[in-house]
Amino acid sequence: MARWCDLVIGDVNRLFDQSALLHGLVRQNQWRAGVLVDEAHNLVDRARGMYSVRLEQQRLLKTRKTAPKPVKAALDRTARAWQSLIRDHGEQEPPVFLEALPPQLPGALQGLVSSLTDYLADHPPDLALQELLFESVAFLKLADQFGDHSLLEFQRAGRGRASLSIQNLIPADFLTDRFAAAHSVLLFSATLSPGVYYRDLLGLPEGTRFTSLPSPFSHDQLQVHFTPGISTRQAHRDRSLVPIAQVIARQFRERPGHYLAFFSSFKYAQAVSEALAVQAPDIPQRAQHPGMSGEQRRAFLAEFQKPEGRVAFAVLGGVFSEGIDLPGDQLIGAFVATLGLPPFDAWHEVLKERLQQRFGAGYDYTYRIPGLQKVAQAAGRVIRTPDDQGVIWLIDDRFLQPPVRRLLPDWWFNGEA
């Protein structure tokens, strides 16, 4: 229907995904397309997902058991390629990052794609074969473009349960052509800063213009407090529990009402919740739980409409830290007891190294900027209208460091854009 529309509204994958039909139509018809991307701060992670793919040995083996005879030979050849990969890397300690594609696998997959395509063209649809075909085609497509913008990871969870994934690290290499095909592009978000980070990772032109608009809110609406004596670093977590509980209790008693308290994990949130129950058993509280259903999420949010205030514990980066509106007395404050930094694991260290090589900003682009974006999004739940009055507690001594503070919204402190 896009051929007959002046305006198309859809998810970003409709234009930016590697198989996006809309992008093909724009190029084929030479449309002068104007692209507007809302919540554009999410596009980096979304695009990484669009240009990543995972190949599962288990799917192949399961399909192979009941596969029709015409595709058996291709399945057997692919199974042998998996065995070769496992012999070479199956005993290594995970995670296993490979420098290049296994030599036997691409050829085996190409033969499998050809065999499955021929069979499905002449026979009734077979869901298992179709899923295997689509997975193989997607893998080959990205394998053909494999480079330093992506990472190849091998995992083995047990017999017959190996996987090989191509994980995109720098989506810019894929998105540049998408932006170039558009007549104009406008990206906007409340947390689209610093601009150079998005320009680099999204592949925007060097001449991209960045505009920071004045906030509709005033810093007079918001009290921002720091806690120079509290560290939420992993090594200091146990000793931080009581001080954080005391901060929450003091603020609640000074101004009772609805608060959200954000932490880096459910375990940390629960530990502080238990400390608060000891320090101030009279303060009502509740908590987000892993795997909440849609109904449970709605019930959690409905509690904010009740007159009795409570402290609600949640995880930073979760469903309650972005995209919800709690104006007025529904939410009068937030405690953020984490910088939101991604885990310092092997995958993120590889990402940091690649981003350092490409842009010279490995730590900031991997850890600091993504983490503080989550902080700004979560704390942004407090002030939703020009009439709101609220408070934010930034609980970690690192929030006072200049490189951290300058990544927080300016209007929190001086009312500027």
pLDDT per position as a tens digit, 232-288: 999 999 999 999 999 999 999 999 999 999 999 999 999 999 999 999 999 999 999
The pLDDT of residue 46 is 97
More confident residue, 265 or 29: 265
Q: What is the pLDDT of residues 78-127, one digit of tens each?
A: 999 999 999 999 888 888 999 999 999 999 999 999 999 999 999 999 99
Q: Is the preceding omega at residue 95 within 30 degrees of 0, hence cis?
A: yes
For the chain, give every residue range classified as CATH 1.10.275.40.
53-168
Whether 416 shows a pLDDT value over 70: the answer reads no
137: Cβ contacts below 8 Å, ≥ 6 apart: 113
The pLDDT of residue 140 is 97
Residue 265: HSE in the Cβ half-sphere, 13 Å Cα cutoff:
10
Strand bridging mode 184-187 / 285-287:
unpaired
pLDDT band (50, 70, 90) for residue 77: very high
Whether 415 shows a pLDDT value over 80: the answer reads no
The pLDDT of residue 183 is 93
Percent of the chain whose pLDDT exceeds 70: 99
Fold of 53-168: Fumarase C; Chain B, domain 1 (1.10.275)
E runs forming strands in 2-156? 34-37, 53-56, 96-98, 150-156
Give, in degrees to the nearest 5, the angle at Cα 238 between 232 and 244. Answer: 55
pLDDT band (50, 70, 90) for residue 155: very high
For the chain, give every residue range classified as CATH 3.40.50.300.
219-412
Q: What is the pLDDT of residues 9-21, one digit of tens each?
A: 999 999 999 988 8
Place of tokens 């910088």: 339
Average pLDDT, the chain: 94
Whether 417 shows a pLDDT value over 50: the answer reads no
**DSSP bridge partners of 261:** 313, 335
Hey, what are 407's tokens? Answer: 């990544």
Whether 332 shows a pLDDT value over 60: the answer reads yes
Q: By the 8 A CB rule, do 81 and 104 touch?
A: yes
- If we measure between CA atoms, which residue out of 150, 173, 154 comes closest to residue 165? 154
The pLDDT of residue 19 is 87
Q: What is the CATH code of the structural domain delimited by 219-412? A: 3.40.50.300
The pLDDT of residue 280 is 97
Torsion of CA 110, 112, 113, 118, to 10 degrees: 130
Which is it for the CA torsion 25, 14, 164, 167, positive or negative? positive
DSSP letter string, 69-99 = GGGHHHHHHHHHHHHHHHHHHTTSPSPEEES
The pLDDT of residue 213 is 85
Place of tokens 């599962």: 56
The H or E element spanning position 297 is: helix 294-302
Hey, what are 115's tokens? Answer: 């065999």
CA distance 293 to 295: 5
CA distance 241 to 232: 9
Over its C-alpha atoms, the chain yields an Rg (Å, rounded) of: 25
Instruction: Indicate the range of 89-93, 151-155, 186-190, 343-347 predicted with least confidence.
Output: 89-93
Q: By the 8 A CB rule, do 59 and 158 touch?
A: no
The pLDDT of residue 360 is 98
The pLDDT of residue 3 is 83
**DSSP bridge partners of 186:** 36
The pLDDT of residue 149 is 97
Query: What's the mean pLDDT in 167-180?
Result: 96
E runs forming strands in 298-387? 311-315, 333-336
Instruction: Indicate the range of 19-33, 264-278, 313-327, 403-417 predicted with least confidence.
Output: 403-417
Query: What's the mean pLDDT in 123-148?
Result: 96
Hey, what are 212's tokens? Answer: 């920071």
Q: What is the pLDDT of residues 374-383, one digit of tens each?
A: 999 999 899 9
pLDDT band (50, 70, 90) for residue 222: very high
145: Cβ contacts below 8 Å, ≥ 6 apart: 174
Q: From the centroid of its chain, how far is CA 83?
A: 33
